Amino acid sequence: MMLLERMLRASALLGGLGLAGCAASPPAVVAPPVASKTADAAPTPDGIYKVGNPYQIEGNWYYPAEDYGYKQEGVASWYGQDFHGKRTANGEKYDMNDITAAHPTLPLPSVVKVTNLDNGRVLDVRINDRGPYHSSRIIDVSRRAAQLLGFYEVGTARVRVEIEAAASMELKSLALKAHPPEMPKIAAAPRAIVAEAALAPVVATGSEIKQSSQPLTPLTVPAPIPVPVVVPPKKTAALPPPPKTPARAVPSAGANSGIFVQAGAFSDIANAKRLEAQLKTFGQVLLLPVVINNTALYRVRLGPLDDDATAESLVSRVKSLGYDDAQIVRY
């Protein structure tokens, strides 16, 4: 949370500096030659976490993804009054005076560092909308962000956009806690109605079976032929039984030997599946049912992992999402 608090304090400072230029037209650029990094990082109460499915705009395909290594250079533009007050792609209300932006594929919300390559100004911006869809543009920032980056008057600028992975994952955690995704509902299978019906008695005649209204004739079954019992000879010496080997716990199916990170254990399978879906971006996730003290639990684990360093890094990332019970387990 320290990163969010630092960015929020910086955002409030820059917001206060901008009040002096609101009365003039066009607004004055208040950012220094090398602007301090800032972003209104806290998502609004109605904003949800969203990645989305591939989509097509004007013949071009876009593929949203959680790309925490994203870095690209291109052209930035800005949008303002025409969209002010309208809903963004993740449900927030767009405010052209906030430090936000639209991006075609990055997660909503996420944080990116935008560097104006023409003047060296740097700004952290929160992505909460989709766009732009112009072939040469890679990001569409709010009016306020364009002022701070120094290209409000010219309209576009050459920029470098780099995702801030830690801040973006923290925003994801906050948004998922505020608006947990719903688990899909499975409809119950239809039940057939079985009616009782009386059947006519049957009589076996040769190899055929025919229906008959006549009563059945009792059949005479011959007595079974007795089978002689063979008593084996007595053994002169009994061999001692083999020594018992103590039972050893065997991991559940799918949990190969190695190092794992256990993110949590739940008595409700719906909660376990929700965490399983959330952790799939980190690697292979296992959902392991166990019974402890007559109570069914569902363990959610990442792995198997190659070494302790990878496991410790994953534990830190899982804990950053709010799962403080994450720990390393070994087989």
Mean pLDDT by 10 residues, the chain (331 residues): 46 40 39 46 72 90 94 95 90 94 95 96 96 90 97 96 95 90 63 67 54 58 65 59 48 60 88 85 87 88 88 86 86 74
What are 43-66's pLDDT values in tens digits? 566 789 999 999 998 888 999 999
**Which amino acid belongs to residue 143?**
R
Phi/psi at 212 (5° precision): -150, 145
**Which amino acid belongs to residue 159?**
V
Q: Which two tokens stand for residue 262?
A: 């256990």
At 2 the pLDDT is: 45
Q: What are the angstrom distances between the C-alpha of 207 and each of 187, 214, 218, 220, 222?
A: 47, 19, 18, 18, 21
What are 248-287's pLDDT values in tens digits? 443 444 444 689 999 888 888 888 888 888 888 888 889 8
Q: Which two tokens stand for residue 205?
A: 């005649």
At 50 the pLDDT is: 92
At 253 the pLDDT is: 42
Q: Is 209 left (phi over 0), alpha (psi -120 to 50) or beta?
A: beta
CB atoms within 10 A of CB 268: 11
Give all domains of the chain, ordered by start, each with its CATH number: 2-178 (2.40.40.10), 259-330 (3.30.70.1070)
At 254 the pLDDT is: 45
Distance CA 246, CA 60 (A): 63
218 forms beta bridges with none
At 94 the pLDDT is: 93
At 37 the pLDDT is: 45
The answer to whether the beta carbons of residues 167 and 41 sit under 8 Å apart is yes
**Which amino acid belongs to residue 251?**
P
Coil, strand or helix at 14? helix
Distance CA 239, CA 120 (A): 88
Distance CA 80, CA 100 (A): 11
At 242 the pLDDT is: 55
At 30 the pLDDT is: 43
Whole-prediction pTM value?
Answer: 0.47
At 64 the pLDDT is: 95
* DSSP secondary structure of 106-159: S-BSEEEEEEETTT--EEEEEEEE-----TTEEEEEEHHHHHHHT-TTTS-EEE
